[in-house]
Amino acid sequence: MALIAVGALSMPAVAETIQVVVSGMPDDRGVLACSLHSDPAGFPDGASAVHATVAPQGGQGVCTFGGVAPGRYAVAVLHDANANGRLDTNVLGMPQERWGISIGPAPRLRAPRFDEAAFDMGADPLQLRIDLNP
């Protein structure tokens, strides 16, 4: 006798929007780069993320990610002051540009882990507020 598994019928996941409001930029030079990650292996700078860049205005910037299905995500942001597409560091590897993560303060002496920045996206739009590290 064979067992046949029948999955429960469910409604398709509704895609929503995540708005990331970033403050703490000392000026409006360069770009604000935001990345939305669903894979812990690619956080915080993996290529598998969805990326957005905006011009800062008044020391702030807003990145918007549309069509986001419910799930677990993390956001990393960078004020790329010289718009060279990467986080500039000194000879010791310490960041020379401001950056932050979606949940809580970012660690200062190492890259953040996915679980330190992760949040659960439900079926409703979400707004995150991130204040960049000085």
Query: How large is the greatest C-alpha to C-alpha distance in the chain, in angstroms?
Result: 70
Residue 11 has pLDDT above 60, yes or no: no
- Phi/psi of residue 53, nearest 5 degrees: -130, 145
- Which are the contacts of 7, defined by CB distance < 8 A and separation ≥ 6? none
Q: Is the pLDDT of residue 83 over 50?
A: yes
pTM for this model (two decimals): 0.86
- Among 8-22, 32-46, 56-70, 74-88, the range scoring the smallest mean pLDDT is 8-22
Report the phi/psi class of residue 113: left, alpha or beta, with left for phi > 0 and alpha for psi in -120 to 50: beta
Question: What pLDDT does residue 73 have?
Answer: 96
- Helix ranges restricted to H, 1-134: 114-117
Which DSSP state fits 102?
S
Q: Can you tell me whether residue 111 is helix, strand or coil?
A: coil
